[in-house]
Structure 1
Amino acid sequence: MAGGAHPRCDYSDDSGGCRVQIPEGGGVNVNSLIIANLHIRRTLGNRKALIALVLLPILVISGIVGLFGRSSDVRVSVALLNADGGWLSEPVADAIRDVGIYEVLEQDPASTDLERLKGEVYDGKRGALVYIPPDFTAKLLSGEETAIQLIRKNERSWNVSLGLTLSETTNRLAGTAALAAAAEEGPEERERLVRSMLEKQAAEGLRAEREQIVHRANNAYVLVIGLMLVFVMMLVNQSIHGVVEDRDNRTMARIFAAPVRASEIALGNFLGCFLLGTIQLVLILAVTRYVIGFDLGVPFGVLVAVMECFLLAAVGLSTAAAALVKNSSMLGSINNMIVVPTCMLGGCFWPIAMMPDFMRKLANFTPQRWAISALEQASAGESLAGIGLQLGVLGLFAAVLLAFGSYVLRPADR
């Protein structure tokens, strides 16, 4: 080739000729984008792969929403056991009723056993139990500490919202009682002042604007989130599988022998995996939200940000796994030993609260755990800044695993 310039052969046909060529000196961005484009075309280059990796996840999630999503119209059963009976316990009951997604079932404290109600909650017969202890009103008026108990089987977005409602109402009542205690010394005058202040709060426009940020209790929420994470990892594994095949058939060795920097090659491969996952995620989220109409209770931008951070961590995890095998035939077995156990341990199929304590601790070493935690916090009203810890941990997963994989996954290791 004239002047010593020669194109780089990325993939060759059976005759040994180049099908795709990447010119020397194209720049980091150009070379990496060309490699990423080839990566995407190879992974989704036929109808079977497109159906299995993109259309099938959309159909499965749509089916789950169709089967279970309709149960979102059913209100959550919340038992209310008011052992106080005082007038300050009434605003608590009203605050629960005002939310609108709870079916409040008031229990007679004279004939109801608290332990029996707790057992019904743990057996799944009731969504939750709100227990207002005796002397709740008297302790608030006297300035003593008191608390309402929320008994729940596990932590879900709707009962986190219920806990916030109870906490906000109790704090407001306690604050009002504290102001009255500072102004009046006698108990009768203090009670009269508290009543007056609460009436003024209700009459003079002190309002809390409520927005439904979580769904009514249903199984679709858990299944949709969990399966989205599973499908992302499946697509990433398939994409990384192509990189390992390149290493096995010496294509990667030819790429590294070309006048292109190793960082450009690694960036192109990782960028291809990331773009493939992004295509799948955006399609699933858009169809689920705007076509099917199933809202996960998280702003779309926050949802995409969390899933993209998990995607980076998934690419790192698959890359690290690929670096530990010597051929592509072993990669499938290794991935099956990683994807399914980590998804089970990370809470993709059932709440982490149902697992033993030692398994909950192990779950912290899986990216799925932090992605689900971020979505749960976001559905409870947290902003991106509020879930910064979870996103940071996912970023740490991605950085460490990608660095390990890119260093080890080289043609010389074959």
Structure 2
Amino acid sequence: MKELFWLIANIFKITFKDKKNYIVYIVLPLVGIIIALVAYGGEKEEKIRIGIIDEERTEITEDTISFLGRLETTHIISIKKSEMEDTIVSGSVDAVLLFEKGFSSSMKEGNPNHIQISSIRGTEITGFIKIYLYNYLDNIAAIAKAAKNEAEYKAIYDNYKKSSFKLVTNGLQDTSKNKKMTYQSIGFLIMIMLFGACNLSEIILKEKERRTYFRLLASPLSSKQYVSANIIVNFIILAAQIILTLLVMTKIFGIDLNIPFIEMLVIMLLFALVTVGLSILIVAFSKSSAAAGALQKLVILPTCLLSGCFWPMELMPEAIQKVSDFLPQKWVLATIMEHQRGEQFGDLYLNYLILFSFALTFFLIAIYKFGRNNNVRNFV
């Protein structure tokens, strides 16, 4: 055990002797957060701009316009009918609401009419306006149907306006921006973790090339202890990267992960185990540090692209989405997104099992490959 601790300390010393590694293992994981903030941090919730054309200017139309103006998600702009087409086409307003002559009379008859909604943005806008507007107009129409005469209608309508029962709208917090920033940051972190882990595992190859490895084995140290120490150091550094990144995201930049911190940490630590296994596997199949460097580039970048680390999987063709099912990065991101949608651990146990299976498979193949290297010039 004493020898193992010495090896761990020695690998840490070798790793951070090169000052560039401070950038690789500490600074680069934070770059993904900056990229996410630049990409999505400037997004703001915009109000729907409704152009109003009131050809009647009656109490009913004024009350209806006032109602729409009180909604938290709308902004009312008075325009002229001659400006209607230009304002819609130019994008000055998202929709135009036209109260034609005869609107108030139709309301008093209990049959709302002479009202038009125009927009080039389709049902995304018109549907929203109709939901609130038609509900309000239906209430007034019901009053007109219930009233026996004009005086009674006026009395009931005035009481309705004074009533303490009002339609109140409360906007739900838009979590999509935080989810996008989390996705982008974690996707970039995944790539950095993979490259960083492979660089750490390459120390084994570099030690061989410098003949240091064989001098170590001439001591009481064993090859298994040497590789185990490399794995432990690798996992510790990856865990530190994960914790640092998550703390900076949540505590400094105020990004809401939309899942508990501990759950995110568990998911990423499990992926760290997968990452270490993959890095050891690459070393096992490489005969030199140059070969390992080429192999990691060949493996990491394409798989990160196919797994959706840089953009949502939904944007990719269906065939590529099926290929990503065989990549661990995809399962990490999928598990995080499912938790953000409210899924619990019990519902996603298969995802965790798949990630653990990836890690176990990588380690077993690496152990087998090391075991087949019988030449004394090899590692284990």
What amino acid is the match of 1:31?
Answer: E
Q: Are residue 232 (structure 1) and residue 203 (structure 2) matched?
A: no
Matching residue's letter, 1:48: K
Counterpart among 13, 37, 49 of residue 9 in structure 2: 37
2:38 to 39, 44, 67: 67
Equivalents in 2 of 1:310, 1:352: separation in Å?
A: 19
Larger RCO of the pair (alpha carbons < 8 Å, separation 6+):
1
* 8 Å CA contact 2:41, 2:177 repeated in 1: no
- Indicate conservation of the 8 Å contact 1:223/1:348, yes or no: yes
- How far residue 370 of structure 1 moved from its aligned partner, in angstroms, is 0.6
Residues of 1 paired with 2:267 and 2:309: CA distance?
15
User: Per-residue deviation at 1:408?
Assistant: 2.4
Equivalent of residue 404 in structure 1, options 322, 347, 365: 365
Secondary structure at the residue paired with 2:41? Answer: helix
**Pair 405,357 (structure 1): closer, same or farther in 2 beyond 3 Å:** same
Taking structure 1 as reference, are residues 31 and 213 closer, same or farther at Cα in structure 2, changes over 3 Å only?
farther
1:371–1:394 contact (8 Å) kept in structure 2: yes
Identity %: 22
Residue 270 of structure 2 is aligned with which of 309, 320, 329?
Answer: 309
- Structure of higher CA gyration radius: 2
**Letter of the aligned partner of 1:291 in structure 2?**
I
Question: 1:171 maps to what in 2?
Answer: none
- Whether 1:371 and 2:332 are equivalent positions in the alignment is yes
SS of aligned partner of 1:54: helix
- 1:64 deviates by 2.2
Q: Distance in 2 between matches of 1:68 and 1:76?
A: 21
| Residue 76 of structure 1: how far off its partner (Å) | 11
Q: Shift of the alpha carbon at 1:304?
A: 0.8
Aligned to 1:295: 256
Q: String of CA shifts for 1:84-105, please: whole Å, max 9, x gaps.
A: xxxxxxxxxxxxxxxx99xxx9
Structure 1 SS opposite 2:326 = coil
Q: Is the 8 Å Cα contact of residues 33 and 181 (structure 2) preserved in structure 1?
A: no
Q: Which amino acid in 1 is paired with 2:22? A: L
Deviations 1:187-210 (A, max 9, x none): xxxxxxxxxxxxxxxxxxxxxxx9
1:251 aligns with 2:212: yes
Q: Which moved more, 1:386-395 or 1:280-289?
A: 386-395
Q: Kindly tell me: are residues 63 and 235 of structure 1, through their superposed partners in 2, closer, same or farther at Cα, counting changes over 3 Å?
A: same
2:273–2:359 CA contact under 8 A, matched in 1: yes
Identify the residue that residue 79 of structure 2 maps to in structure 1: none
TM-score, normalised relative to structure 1: 0.57
Q: 1:89-100 counterparts in 2 under 5 A? A: none
Instruction: Give the SS at the match of 2:310.
Output: coil
Pick the aligned partner of 1:54 from 8, 26, 29. 26
Deviations 1:144-184 (A, max 9, x none): xxxxxxxxxxxxxxxxxxxxxxxxxxxxxxxxxxxxxxxxx
Aligned length: 274
Shift of 1:294: 1.3
8 Å CA contact retained: 2:306, 2:320: yes
Mark the CA change 1:386 to 1:32 in structure 2 (over 3 Å): closer, same or farther: farther
Separation (CA, whole Å) in 2 of partners of 1:394 and 1:76: 42
Match of 1:334 in 2: 295
Distance 2:238 2:218 in 1: 29
Evaluate the alpha carbon distance shift between residue 379 and residue 211 of structure 1 in structure 2; reply closer, same or farther with a 3 A threshold. farther
Instruction: Indicate the SS of the match to 1:364.
Output: helix
**What SS does the aligned partner of 2:270 have?**
helix
- Structure 1 distance, partners of 2:290, 2:270, is 29
Give the Cα separation in 1 of the matches to 2:360 and 2:305.
23
Question: Would the alpha carbon gap of residues 373 and 340 (structure 1) be closer, same or farther in structure 2, given more than 3 Å must change?
Answer: same
In structure 2, relative to structure 1, the CA distance for the partners of 1:75 and 1:271 (3 Å cut) is farther
Q: Which runs of 5+ in 2 are unaligned?
A: 49-71, 74-93, 98-115, 129-170
Cα distance in structure 1, aligned partners of 2:172 and 2:235: 34
Alignment-derived partner of residue 361 in structure 1: 322
Which AA in structure 1 matches 2:199? Q
- 1:382: how far off? 2.4
Q: How far did residue 346 of structure 1 move?
A: 0.9
Q: TM-score, normalised by structure 2?
A: 0.62
Aligned to 1:274: 235
Give the distance between the partners of 1:380 and 1:323, measured in 2 at CA. 39
Amino acid paired to 1:364: D
Distance 1:325 1:283 in 2: 31
Tell me the alpha carbon deviations over residues 215-273 of structure 1, each in whole angstroms, 9 at most, x when there is no partner.
44774333212101111112111111212212333333333443344443332111011
Amino acid at match of 2:235: F
Letter in 2 for 1:251: T
Q: Give 1:184-263 correspondences, 5 Å limit.
A: 214-216=175-177, 219-263=180-224
> What is the deviation of 1:289?
1.1
1:36 deviates by 2.2
The Cα of 1:339 is off from its aligned counterpart by 0.8
Q: Structure 2: how far apart are the matches of 1:40 and 1:288?
A: 26
Distance 2:291 2:249 in 1: 35
Distance in structure 1 (CA, Å) of the matches to 2:256 and 2:342: 14
